[in-house]
Amino acid sequence: MSEHKATPVGGSLMTPSMRILLFVFMVGAALTVWRFAVGLGPSTGLSDGYPWGLWIAFDVVTGTALACGGYAMALLVYIFNKGKYHPLVRPALLTSALGYSVAAIGIIIDVGRPWFIWRIPISVGKWNLDSALLEVALCVMAYVMVLWIELSPAFLEKWQDSGNTGLANFSRGLSKFMDKALIWFIALGMLLPTMHQSSLGSVIMLAGPRLHKLWHTPWLPFLYLISCIAMGYAVVVMESTLSSRAFGRQREDKMLASLSGVTSGILFLFVAVRFVDLFLRGRGPLLIGEGYYSVMFWLETVLFLAPAIMLAGSRGRARIATMFRASMMIVVAGSLYRFDSYLVAFNPGPGWSYFPSVPETVITLGLVAMEIMVFIMLVKSFPILSGTSPMPAHRK
């Protein structure tokens, strides 16, 4: 494993691109303060017809699915025992930890009375076990913590060599404990997303009659679960490609290729389940003749099928460009599926419309900027990325 040892990238933190990210983040933060002062009406495009918008559909529902890299990689490495993927785990975990943290912040900004959120985990006797959203809330809270714990060895490794003897000793002691206990956190780190990613499908299933029949199905939880795993792998492929380029690291091409094979299978399964379910329940005719809705459904289907086909053969998987393109399509497909089921296919009746307001959008951009900033800062300072030998100069 020594050739895969993770090391900090190093280099200066305050680069020009970091300054731009910081600026976007600051504007978003200022608008967030304003949103809490004036309430959600003036600051967002939300209404009684469309009570959920960009923040829920993107920051939470799509964001956490994109942050499933840690989950998907852990499944592969620890359950299916494919240790060769190990170098991809830490960066995937970091993206997940950041993605889920951003989702948690997004929820705090979105709900009307976030100062009562603490009551959810402690009000055990009052828990409504019918509510899929309760399960999502509890799981996400727990999972954010679990992800940072799963990632903690990266921090402990660095701190062990700290000049501060107290911190070094503490890290060494904790490291020993973590070596033994980590497995149980990792198991939790796989259980929780299995639960809440499927439950994100259940959440919108309750909209029942107001959700278009092409999307509303008892299979929503299952479809949400498998698509988030595909999205997780796709993000790992993209992130690995991008960070090898940005930080001049060796790519893990072979690993990414076999990973893409798994993803292809999941995508085919997703499309198959959807179509079989529609036809079994007599909803096949809706595939044409529902206008806009049919078009969106087919657009999703094409976006899911195309990468499945691209990645099905070993020839496609031999080319990193093909894998990258396919992964991008998977990310778009999974995101569109989530946007459609939470916003486009949700119809509260005549007279209502939704489009995100400018402040709403900028706040989301600010959160994304923060996520990228923290990612760059952490990989530069802590042992997250592997592949120490720099790439040839002309590839940089």
Partner 1 sequence: MARTRRAFLKGLAYAGGTAAVSAVPAIASEPRKAPDDAVGMLYDTTRCIGCKACVVACHEANDLPPDTRGDALYDAPQSLNDRTKNIIKLYQEDGRRSYMKQQCMHCIDPACVGACMIGALQKREYGIVTWESNRCIGCRYCQVACPYNVPKFEWEEANPRIIKCELCNHRLAEGKEPACCEVCPRDAVIYGKYDELLAEAKKRMADHPGRYVDKIYGEHDGGGTQVLYLSHVPFEKLGLPELGDEAVPKLNRTIQHGVYKGMIAPAALYVAMGAVMLRNRRKGDKGGES
82-101 residues near partner 1, rule: CB under 8 A: 82-86
Q: How far is the CB of 129 from partner 1 (least distance, A)?
A: 7
Q: How far is the CB of 198 from partner 1 (least distance, A)?
A: 5
Give yes or no for residue 208 binding partner 1 (CB under 8 A): yes
Closest CA to 243 of 72, 6, 61: 6
Which amino acid is residue 370, in one-letter code? Answer: M
Number of H helices, E strands in the chain: 15, 0
Closer residue to partner 1, CB minimum distance, 82 or 158: 82
Closer residue to partner 1, CB minimum distance, 34 or 298: 34
DSSP 3-state assignment of 7? Answer: strand
Map residues 374-393 to x or -, x wherever contact with partner 1 holds by CB under 8 A.
--------------------
**How far apart (Å, rounded) are the C-alpha atoms in residues 184 and 190?**
10
Given 11, 114, 173, 285, the residue binding partner 1 (CB under 8 A): 114
- Binders in 127-186 for partner 1, by CB under 8 A: 127-135, 137, 183-184, 186
- Binders in 250-309 for partner 1, by CB under 8 A: 258
- Binders in 226-245 for partner 1, by CB under 8 A: 226
What is the total count of residues that contact partner 1 (CB under 8 A)?
A: 76
DSSP structural state of residue 211: B
Residues with Cβ < 8 Å from 316, sequence gap 6 or more? 260, 310, 322, 323, 326
95: left (phi over 0), alpha (psi -120 to 50) or beta: alpha
Torsion of Cα atoms, 210 then 215 then 218 then 221, to 10°: -110
- How long is the chain? 396
DSSP structural state of residue 67: T
23-31, 121-129, 318-326, 374-382 -> range binding partner 1 (CB under 8 A): 121-129
Q: How far is the CB of 51 from partner 1 (least distance, A)?
A: 4
Closer residue to partner 1, CB minimum distance, 262 or 329: 262
Q: How far is the CB of 128 from partner 1 (least distance, A)?
A: 5
Given 158, 210, 213, 380, the residue binding partner 1 (CB under 8 A): 210
Count of beta carbons in the 10 Å neighbourhood of residue 76: 25
**How far apart (Å, rounded) are the C-alpha atoms in residues 323 and 236?**
11
**How far apart (Å, rounded) are the C-alpha atoms in residues 371 and 99?**
7
- Binders in 315-374 for partner 1, by CB under 8 A: 346, 348-349, 351
Given 28, 69, 70, 221, the residue binding partner 1 (CB under 8 A): 221
13-21, 158-166, 197-205, 292-300 -> range binding partner 1 (CB under 8 A): 197-205
